[in-house]
Amino acid sequence: MTTALLAAIAVVVGFFTGAVGPGGILLIPAFVILGGLDIHEATATTLFVFLFTGVLGTWLFYRRGHVYWRIAIPVCIGSVAFSYLGALVNAMVESRLLTIIIAGVIIFSGAYLLLPARRAEGSYRDGHGASQQALLLAIGALSGFGSGLSGAGGAVFCVPLMLIFGFMPFAAIGTSQVLQIVVAASGTVGNLQYGSVDFMAAAWVAVFALAGVVIGVGTAHAASALVQRRMVAGLCIVVGAFMLVRAL
C-alpha cells in the first residue's frame, strides 16, 4: 500500500513537472513519509530522479519545437552562477525565516498569475535583443539563488517569473525542463560526494515519474495559455503553502 501510494505521487509529480515545470519539491516529503528516507537522502534522491525527468521533458518539448535555446541558455547560465551563492547564504542565515520569506514570494507569484494577463496573445517576449537577454540572465540568477537558498527546484522560481515578465508559457515550461537538468546534474555531483542518493528508490520512482512527464507534456500542449497560467499559479500556491506549513 505504501509503495503504491509513493508510485502514485511520483506520477502526479511527473505530470506537473511535464505540464507546468514546478512540482518536484512535493516528492521530498513522500520519500520521507512513505519511503523511510531521512531529509538529506530524500532531497538528494529527488534531485537525482529529476535528472531523468528533465532529460525526457526537454526532449519532448524540443521535439514539439518548444525549447527556445536563446531563452533557455541565459536562464541556465544565470541559475548556475547564483545557485552556489544561494547555498552559501542558506548556510549563514537562519533557515526557518528564509523558508517563510521564500514561501511567501512563491505564493505571491502564484496569486499574481491568477490576475488577468496584461499581454495580448502574440505579443510575448521572444528573447531577442540585449535587454531581453539581460532580463533572462536576471531571471536565471534569481531562480538559481532561490533554489540554492531554499532547496526547491529552479522551476518553481523561473516559470512564474518568466510568465510575469511576459514570456510565452511554452517557452517558460520548456526552459524549466532544461534548467531541471542543469540543477539536478550539478546538485547530484555534490550529493554523490556524501553518498546520500538512494539509487534503488530513485530507480523505480523515476519510472513512474517519467510516465507522469509524458502525460503532463501532452496536457501542456493541449491547454490554452490561460489554462497554463492558472495551472502554474495553482501549483505555486500549493508549493508555497506546503513550504510555509513545513517551516512553521
Q: Taking the domains of the chain in order of start, what are their residue ranges? A: 2-247
Handedness of CA 223, 154, 64, 119 (dihedral sign): positive
Q: What is the 3-state secondary structure (H, E, C) of the chain?
A: CHHHHHHHHHHHHHHHHHHHCCCHHHHHHHHHHCCCCCHHHHHHHHHHHHHHHHHHHHHHHHHCCCCCHHHHHHHHHHHHHHHHHHHHHHHHCCHHHHHHHHHHHHHHHHHHHCCCCCCCCCCCECCCCHHHHHHHHHHHHHHHHHHHHHCCCCHHHHHHHHHHCCECHHHHHHHHHHHHHHHHHHHHHHHHCCCCCCHHHHHHHHHHHHHHHHHHHHHHHHCCHHHHHHHHHHHHHHHHHHHHHHHC
Q: How far apart are CA 66 and CA 74, in angstroms?
A: 16
Check pLDDT > 80 for residue 188. Answer: no
Backbone φ and ψ of 80, nearest 5° = -60, -40
Q: How far apart are CA 242 and CA 248, in angstroms?
A: 10
198 or 189: whose pLDDT is higher?
198
Of 246, 184, 241, nearest in space to 33 by CA: 246
Question: What pLDDT, on the 0 to 100 scale, is given for residue 70?
Answer: 93
Say which residues have a Cβ less than 8 Å from residue 52's Cβ, sequence separation at least 6. 206, 209, 210
Check pLDDT > 70 for residue 80. Answer: yes
Check pLDDT > 60 for residue 182. Answer: yes
Please state the rounded mean pLDDT for residues 222-243.
76
The C-alpha cell that represents 91 in the structure block: 548556510
pLDDT digits (tens, 9 = 90+) for 116-139: 665 555 577 888 888 999 999 999
Question: What pLDDT, on the 0 to 100 scale, is given for residue 236?
Answer: 77
Check pLDDT > 70 for residue 152. Answer: no
Place 90 in a pLDDT band, splitting at 50, 70 and 90.
low
Question: What pLDDT, on the 0 to 100 scale, is given for residue 96?
Answer: 72
56 or 13: whose pLDDT is higher?
56
Please state the rounded mean pLDDT for residues 54-61.
92
* HSE-CB for 150 with a 13 A CA cutoff: 31
Q: How far apart are CA 52 and CA 225, in angstroms?
A: 26
pTM higher than the cut 0.75: yes
Backbone φ and ψ of 223, nearest 5° = -95, 155
Check pLDDT > 80 for residue 43. Answer: no
